[in-house]
Amino acid sequence: MCDLLSAQAAVLEHNISTEVAIRHKYAAKHSMETLVQLVLRHLPELGAQGAPRMVEVTLLMATTAWPCSRPSEAMLAAYASEPALAAMRLDFTEVMRRTVEVTISGLLARQEEPASASPAP
């Protein structure tokens, strides 16, 4: 799935007909809505605005982190021969975990306080 996500905008969405693009985007929209509902089931405190943002950021990060975390043979050899460079190698699971944690905590921190919770003048 990560291979497909990574290739979606750069490759798969090019040189297709309008009809195929429409079907593809409606299917993607449905998948996003399903993911948002899943997030809301487990993190209802994100709310109707936060959950879609969390899904969007997570998918965008997965799209970018996946190919970056799968280095070529030449890059693996460079990392092996130069320990100072090895720290630049991305671990997909760790990058995704941190991204989701930071995104959720940031979304929760940025939520507006309810009007009833505002201090009295």
Tell me the mean pLDDT in the region 77-102: 95
The residues, ordered by sequence, that sit 6+ positions from 5 with a Cβ below 8 Å of its Cβ are 59, 62, 63, 66
Residue 15 located in a structural domain: yes
At residue 82, the pLDDT reads 93
Residue 91 located in a structural domain: yes
Domain of residue 15 covers 2-110
51 with 36: CB under 8 angstroms? yes
- The number of distinct structural domains making up the chain is 1
Report the candidate in 89, 95, 64 with the shortest Cα–Cα distance to residue 75: 89
Residue 54 located in a structural domain: yes
Q: What is the pTM of this model?
A: 0.79
Q: Tokens in use for 84?
A: 């100072």
Residue 98 located in a structural domain: yes
Question: Is the per-residue pLDDT at 120 higher than 80?
Answer: no
Residue 121 located in a structural domain: no
Instruction: Work out the burial of residue 8: count CB atoms within 10 Å of its CB; fewer than 13 is exposed, 13-18 middle, 19 or more buried.
Output: middle
Residue 83 located in a structural domain: yes
Residue 117 located in a structural domain: no
Local confidence band at 15 (pLDDT 50, 70, 90 cut-offs)? confident
At residue 4, the pLDDT reads 79
> 117 or 64: whose pLDDT is higher?
64
At residue 114, the pLDDT reads 58
